[in-house]
Amino acid sequence: MFITLEGPDGSGKTLQIHLLEEFLTARGYKVFCGREPGDTFIGEQIRQVLMDHQNKNMHPRTETLLFCAARAQLVEEVLKPHLERGDIVLLDRYADSTMAYQGYGHQFDLDLIRSLLHFATGGLRPNLTFLLDVDPQTGLERRQKGGGEWNRMDAYVLQYHQRVRQGYLEMAQADPQRWKIVDASRQPDVVQSELREILLSYLSNLS
C-alpha cells in the first residue's frame, strides 16, 4: 500500500509521517518511509540543486523537470521494489506536490503537468493521500520559528503559496476517495490522532 502526506510548507508533515511510521511499525507492518525530492543517491543530488539559494535564476520549467527526474528515479529504485514486497510505503510528498507547487503555483497548464507526471511515475499512484491543510501564512511562520531548513522554494511570495494551498484543496475535493483533508493548524498530537484513526479505518476496510 502506498500512502502519501501532502501539504503547504510548515504543515508539519515531517513530524507526522515519522509518528505514523512508528505507529505502523509497532503494529507489525513493514514500512518504508521516505521523502521527496530525495531518498536515492541521484535524488539527493537533485534536491541540493533545487533547494540551493544560489540557484535563484532557476526557471520554473527547469524546477518542474528536476522534481520529476528525482521522482522517476525514486519510483524505479525504491518505491516499486517495496510495494512489490508488500511493504507499506509512506512518502513525504509525491506527484501531487508537483501539481500543487508547479502546476497551480506557477500556473502551468495542468494537463501538461499531469502528462509529465504520468511519464515520470510510470503511472504509479498513491492509494491514500493525506492533505495536512494549513494556511500559508501560519505555515511559513511556523517554519521560520521552528528554525528548520529555509530553502529557495520558501522564498516564493505569499500569493504563490496561497495558489499552492488552493490547488491542494481543489485536488482533494475532486477525489475524496483517495484524499483525506486534515486540519493541520491544530496541536501535533491532535493531528496525529486523526491521521491514525483514518489510517486504521482504511486498513481495516482492506482486510
Residues near ligand TMP (CB under 6 A): 9, 35-37, 67, 93, 97-98, 101-102, 153-154
Q: Give 65 or 181: the residue with its C-beta nearer to ligand TMP.
A: 65
Residue 102 Cβ vs ligand TMP, minimum distance, rounded to whole Å: 6
Q: Give 154 or 203: the residue with its C-beta nearer to ligand TMP.
A: 154
Return all residues near 73 (Cβ < 8 A) that are at least 6 apart.
40, 42, 43
Residue 134 Cβ vs ligand TMP, minimum distance, rounded to whole Å: 13
Measured from each CB, the residue nearest to ligand TMP is 101
φ, ψ at 88 (rounded to 5°): -90, 130
Residue 28 Cβ vs ligand TMP, minimum distance, rounded to whole Å: 28
Return d(Cα 35, Cα 131) in angstroms, integer.
15
Q: Give 101 or 192: the residue with its C-beta nearer to ligand TMP.
A: 101
φ, ψ at 186 (rounded to 5°): -85, 180
Residue 97 Cβ vs ligand TMP, minimum distance, rounded to whole Å: 4
Q: Distance of CA 63 to CAs 9, 37, 124, 194, 207, Å?
A: 17, 11, 21, 34, 40
